[in-house]
A and B are shown apart, each in its own frame.
Chain A
Amino acid sequence: MKNHEMRQQLVQLGNGAHALAIQMLGNADDATDAVHDAFVKALKQPDAYDARTGPLTPWFLRVVRNHCIDMIRRRRPGDVDVDDLSDPGPGPEALLETAQRDQALQQALSRLSSEQREMIVLRDYMDLSYAEIADVLLITPGTVMSRLHRARMALKEELGSNE
């Protein structure tokens, strides 16, 4: 794939990749760095992506995810702030109700396991198919449905206990 074509497609994946990285790293700034590094890595060697092996989205999300895993490995204990899983948000001008609902959702997400948060973001936020999720997480497609269901039920429970 040519560099400028990949660039166009990657721009649209930025926010989804950022949401995934936030859920993995627990920090919006680190997540931005992770997405930036993944962009640089992908654009430096656009030929590393082979369109015959599948769509760009799962491939790029896998690059982001691997980079997040590397960052987590390099971290010292205590660096992760699980309460800071949200982006700074829309600011004071945003509708209060929506902001509160999103905050409650983010807090509930923060109490799930990292794997469950990834599942929820990949499916419900990014709208990836089960096959694509399996591709990103390197698991068999057959396990996606059960893991996702457990993640959703856990999130439902957390939201229920919060609201």
Chain B
Amino acid sequence: MNNGKRHVDEHVGELLSGFVDGELTQQERQLVSLHCDDCAECREILTNLRDLRQRVGKANLSEVGEDRWRETMDDNTVKTTRSIGWLMFIAGLLAIAGIGVVGFLFSDEIPVGMKLIIIAVYGGLATLLYSVLRQRLIERKTDKYKDVEI
């Protein structure tokens, strides 16, 4: 860079970018300011550079979202072991629930009427739970603000 020798009448070139970015020394800033006072061409470039910087800064060059990166961060081993863990846990829960339901349905100690009442209560709860979960799932899929952090 030869800005030390640069005269105020010479076009300031790349110093305009440094000026826009706040990366110049005080002496360089003064040189650019003085030059732009008298040079319409450099003044226009300066305005264009500011607009350009603002435009690129506001552009959507990547729209992935932090949640997605959080998921992506985990390496494949972590993902696989986590999936296996969940699978085993859910399978175990389902097996226990299945044994309980079969035992309940085929039990001779509980009267049929009582069985029907209990089935109605648990069936109702399960239906409500399904309805809420379905609603949440639809909202999550269609919510365009889900990645916005407040």
Contacts and interface: CB of A to CB of B under 8 A. Distances in A.
Interface of A: 7, 10-12, 14-16, 18-19, 22-23, 28, 31-32, 35-36, 39-40, 43-44, 86-91, 93, 98, 101-102, 105-106, 120-121, 123-125, 127, 129-130, 142, 145-146, 148-150, 152-153, 155-156, 159
B21 A123 contact: yes
Interface stretch (B35-43, B57-65, B89-97, B129-137): B57-65
A87 B53 CA distance: 20
Contacts of A129: 23
Contact of A156 (B18, B48, B70, B144): B48
B72 A125 contact: no
B150 interface: no
A15 B64 CA distance: 6
Contacts of B17: 145, 148-149, 152
Overall SS of chain A's interface: helix
Overall SS of chain B's interface: helix
A115 B57 CA distance: 18
Nearest to A143: B1
A32 to B, nearest CB: 7
Given A124-B57, A125-B56, A14 B21 contact: no
Given A32-B64, A98-B60, A149-B13, 10 more contacts: A15-B66, A18-B64, A43-B75, A87-B63, A120-B56, A123-B21, A148-B14, A152-B17, A152-B52, A153-B45
Shortest Cβ-Cβ A-B pairs, 9 listed: A14-B69, A149-B14, A124-B56, A19-B61, A18-B62, A149-B17, A19-B62, A40-B75, A39-B73
Contact of B16 (A12, A93, A142, A149): A149
Given A125-B59, A149-B14, A11 B1 contact: no
Contacts of A120: 56
B49 to A, nearest CB: 6
Interface of B: 1, 13-18, 21, 23, 45, 48-49, 52-53, 55-57, 59-66, 68-70, 72-73, 75, 144
A44 B75 contact: yes
A86 B61 contact: yes
A124 B63 CA distance: 16
Nearest to B53: A124
A16 B59 CA distance: 12
A123 B18 CA distance: 11
Given A11-B73, A124-B52, A152-B17, A105 B59 contact: yes
